[in-house]
């Protein structure tokens, strides 16, 4: 039937979906990079500005060093970086010169493929971002068609968006991105052909999360259409759950359906085994197949946001109005121009719905995020805002304050601030992160490069025992392992 390749999202999207993006450090990725390179993936979903910030803040590791070393260990498989185009770590959009420098450094350090994701589906914004990437190097640019359910996000909508982008020479390929796992097999059978007709010879990939159990079946339905070239997957414990379909199972299913997939199955098993041993050693929860939740296709609010909102209502003794809030969410979303329900929008929309329900009148209380969104700081909304609502939101002193907020400094200003001699990569981090965090990262020195999942639990045990010397001699016995510590201080 078709030739399908696989894109492995384990290290970035899998890690983010299942392990809060704080699950993996440089050594844990480096250890499996060589083997991953040998599987034959089309690309590896490797980084985003969130991940780079987490490396600095949480691990005190240099994200540029991580990128360089992983790229060196896996030179044959392109490393993928996802971006909204004009932002790097900071929530504000940066100027084009700053982003150009960012793209230059990312490509120099080893990124071979960029995903341009504009949440508002603003074609001009995507084209501008793609242009910047291409002027700084030869990496591929893949445009995201981010799936959501709404009256405006029809097949026609996506096809029109794709057609505009396909005409741009700086955009090489496309993917159907379904971060909430909402797309059904039935829908992909109309959506994918509509998009493919619009993009012609350019390649189409699919990235469908398994949040309500649909991701694998939808991806397979897409493969069967013969117009989708690659499926995004997560390996072993980094697949399923709110992550992507599990790689080994997807490979078997694709072959069962008669497709050919040029992947080294034995090497994939080896990589999967490593991730499983790591997950067990570090007590990280594996993704598990999810039950279908019909209500989710209606409100599209992730479980975490629902839980938080329910708790906030309980604190106000207003839990009985929860259903009202959910209904209000749909109304707010429409009035705000149908943002896709991907962070930060579900939180914004839901908290506004909460304010509207419990407040004196609708839009009496408005969060700063909604204000910024309405004022276009996140980009041009997908469809027009409800004029009355927009006017009501803008009519407050806080809106004027936000209007006067300084925008992100220009590249020239930032260079002046940090001096001309700072290396590009350090400069880019200092421009957007607190200096004490960058200082701490630099002070920590080069990252460790080795991780042994089999030894990790034993080392942890040893650290515990070392921290609380309880006896002169300690013997620990478990299946397959015996440990004996001798000569400790005598404990009275």
Stretch (H or E) spanning 113: strand 111-116
- The Cα–Cα gap between 92 and 103 comes to 17
Q: Under rule CB under 8 A, which residues in 25-44 are in contact with other proteins? A: 31-32, 34-38
Phi-psi region of 20 (alpha: psi -120 to 50; beta: other; left: phi over 0): left
Shortest distance, CB of residue 465 to other proteins, whole angstroms? 8
Cα torsion for 170, 10, 195, 138, to the nearest 10°?
Answer: 10
Of 364 and 455, nearer to other proteins (C-beta) is 455
DSSP 231-264: EEEB-GGGSSTTSPPBHHHHHHHHHHTT-B----
**Selected binder of other proteins within 73, 225, 392, 402 (CB under 8 A):** 73
Q: Choose one: 71-79, 90-98, 188-196, 255-263; the region binding other proteins (CB under 8 A).
A: 71-79
Q: Choose one: 14-22, 283-291, 394-402, 475-483; the region binding other proteins (CB under 8 A).
A: 475-483
**Does residue number 264 form part of the binding site for other proteins (CB under 8 A)?**
yes
**Selected binder of other proteins within 138, 387, 419, 480 (CB under 8 A):** 480
Identify whether the C-beta of residue 267 lies closer than 8 Å to the C-beta of residue 34. Answer: no
Shortest distance, CB of residue 108 to other proteins, whole angstroms? 9
Shortest distance, CB of residue 14 to other proteins, whole angstroms? 19
Shortest distance, CB of residue 89 to other proteins, whole angstroms? 23
Of 35 and 392, nearer to other proteins (C-beta) is 35
Q: Build a one-symbol-per-residue string for 223-262: x at contacts with other proteins by CB under 8 A, - elsewhere.
A: ----------------------------------------
**Does residue number 442 form part of the binding site for other proteins (CB under 8 A)?**
no
**Does residue number 269 form part of the binding site for other proteins (CB under 8 A)?**
no
Cβ neighbours around 365 below 10 Å, total: 16
**Does residue number 483 form part of the binding site for other proteins (CB under 8 A)?**
yes
Measured in degrees and rounded to the nearest 5, phi and psi for residue 484 equal -135, 125
Q: Under rule CB under 8 A, how many of the chain's residues touch other proteins?
A: 41
Q: Under rule CB under 8 A, which residues in 177-196 are in contact with other proteins? A: none
Residues 6+ apart with CB under 8 A from 373: 336, 339, 345, 348, 381
For 257, the token pair is 């359906």
Of 37 and 136, nearer to other proteins (C-beta) is 37
**Does residue number 421 form part of the binding site for other proteins (CB under 8 A)?**
no
Nearest CA to 148 out of 186, 180, 194, 184 is that of: 180
**Does residue number 489 form part of the binding site for other proteins (CB under 8 A)?**
yes
**Does residue number 104 form part of the binding site for other proteins (CB under 8 A)?**
no
Query: Across-strand partners of 113?
Result: 80, 140
DSSP 53-96: HHHHHTT---HHHHHHHHHHH-TTS-EEEEE-SS-SSSSSPPPH
Shortest distance, CB of residue 489 to other proteins, whole angstroms? 4
First to last CA, the chain: 74
Shortest distance, CB of residue 107 to other proteins, whole angstroms? 13
For 336, the token pair is 């705000």
- The Cα–Cα gap between 192 and 190 comes to 6
Query: Across-strand partners of 379?
Result: none
- The Cα–Cα gap between 137 and 104 comes to 7
- The Cα–Cα gap between 203 and 214 comes to 23
**Selected binder of other proteins within 51, 71, 196, 214 (CB under 8 A):** 71
Q: Choose one: 233-241, 245-253, 390-398, 460-468; the region binding other proteins (CB under 8 A).
A: 460-468
**Does residue number 492 form part of the binding site for other proteins (CB under 8 A)?**
no
Identify whether the C-beta of residue 329 lies closer than 8 Å to the C-beta of residue 299. Answer: yes
| Strand-pair category, 111-116 with 140-146 | parallel
**Does residue number 75 form part of the binding site for other proteins (CB under 8 A)?**
yes
**Selected binder of other proteins within 189, 249, 270, 372 (CB under 8 A):** 270
Of 258 and 445, nearer to other proteins (C-beta) is 445
Helix ranges restricted to H, 90-184: 96-109, 123-135, 155-166
Of 267 and 358, nearer to other proteins (C-beta) is 267
For 195, the token pair is 């998009």
Q: Build a one-symbol-per-residue string for 106-145: x at contacts with other proteins by CB under 8 A, - elsewhere.
A: ----x-----------------------------------
**Selected binder of other proteins within 68, 163, 377, 396 (CB under 8 A):** 68
Of 20 and 446, nearer to other proteins (C-beta) is 446
Measured in degrees and rounded to the nearest 5, phi and psi for residue 347 equal -65, -40
**Does residue number 469 form part of the binding site for other proteins (CB under 8 A)?**
yes
Identify whether the C-beta of residue 14 lies closer than 8 Å to the C-beta of residue 437. Answer: no
Shortest distance, CB of residue 278 to other proteins, whole angstroms? 14
Of 217 and 462, nearer to other proteins (C-beta) is 462
Shortest distance, CB of residue 460 to other proteins, whole angstroms? 10
**Does residue number 76 form part of the binding site for other proteins (CB under 8 A)?**
yes
Which residues of this protein are in contact with other proteins, per CB under 8 A? 31-32, 34-38, 68, 71-73, 75-76, 110, 264, 267, 270-271, 446, 448-450, 452, 454-455, 458-459, 462-463, 466, 469, 480-489
């Amino acid at each position: 039937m078709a030739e399908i390749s696989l894109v492995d999202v384990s290290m970035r999207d899998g890690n983010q979906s299942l392990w809060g993006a704080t699950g993996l450090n440089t050594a844990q990725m480096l250890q499996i990079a060589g083997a991953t390179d040998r599987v034959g993936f089309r690309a590896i979903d490797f980084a985003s500005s969130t991940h780079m910030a987490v490396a600095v803040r949480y691990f005190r590791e240099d994200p540029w060093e991580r990128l360089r070393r992983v790229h060196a260990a896996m030179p044959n498989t392109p490393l993928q970086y996802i971006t909204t185009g004009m932002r790097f770590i900071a929530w504000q959009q940066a100027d084009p010169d700053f982003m150009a420098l960012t793209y230059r450094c990312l490509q120099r350090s080893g990124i071979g493929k960029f995903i341009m994701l504009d949440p508002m589906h603003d074609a001009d914004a995507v084209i501008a971002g793609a242009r910047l990437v291409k002027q700084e190097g030869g990496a591929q640019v893949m445009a995201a068609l981010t799936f959501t359910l709404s009256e405006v996000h029809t097949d026609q909508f996506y096809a029109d968006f794709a057609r505009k982008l396909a005409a741009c020479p700086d955009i090489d390929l496309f993917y159907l991105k379904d971060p909430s796992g909402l797309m059904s097999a039935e829908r992909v059978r109309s959506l994918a052909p509509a998009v493919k007709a619009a993009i012609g010879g350019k390649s189409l990939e699919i990235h469908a999360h398994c949040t309500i159990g649909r991701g694998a079946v939808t991806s397979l339905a897409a493969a069967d259409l013969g117009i989708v070239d690659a499926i995004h997957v997560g390996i072993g414990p980094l697949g399923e759950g709110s992550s992507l379909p599990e790689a080994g199972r997807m490979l078997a299913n694709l072959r069962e359906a008669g497709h050919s997939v040029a992947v080294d199955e034995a090497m994939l098993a080896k990589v999967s085994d490593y991730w499983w041993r790591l997950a067990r050693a570090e007590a990280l929860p594996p993704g598990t197949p999810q039950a279908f939740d019909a209500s989710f296709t209606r409100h599209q609010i992730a479980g975490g946001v629902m839980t938080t909102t329910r708790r906030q209502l309980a604190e106000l003794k207003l839990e009985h109005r929860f259903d009202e809030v959910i209904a209000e969410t749909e109304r707010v979303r429409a009035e705000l121009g149908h943002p896709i329900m991907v962070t930060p929008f579900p939180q914004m929309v839901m908290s506004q719905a909460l304010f509207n329900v419990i407040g004196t009148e609708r839009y009496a209380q408005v969060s700063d995020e909604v204000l910024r969104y309405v004022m276009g700081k996140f980009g041009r909304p997908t469809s027009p805002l409800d004029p009355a609502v927009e006017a009501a939101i803008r009519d407050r002193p806080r809106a004027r304050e936000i209007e006067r907020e300084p925008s992100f400094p220009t590249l020239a200003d930032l260079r002046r601030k940090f001096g001309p001699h700072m290396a590009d990569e350090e400069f880019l981090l200092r421009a957007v992160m607190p200096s004490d965090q960058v200082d701490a990262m630099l002070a920590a020195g080069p990252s460790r490069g080795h991780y042994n999942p089999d030894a990790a639990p034993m080392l942890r045990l040893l650290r515990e025992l070392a921290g609380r010397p309880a006896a002169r001699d300690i013997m620990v016995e478990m299946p397959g392992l015996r440990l004996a510590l001798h000569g400790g201080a005598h404990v009275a």
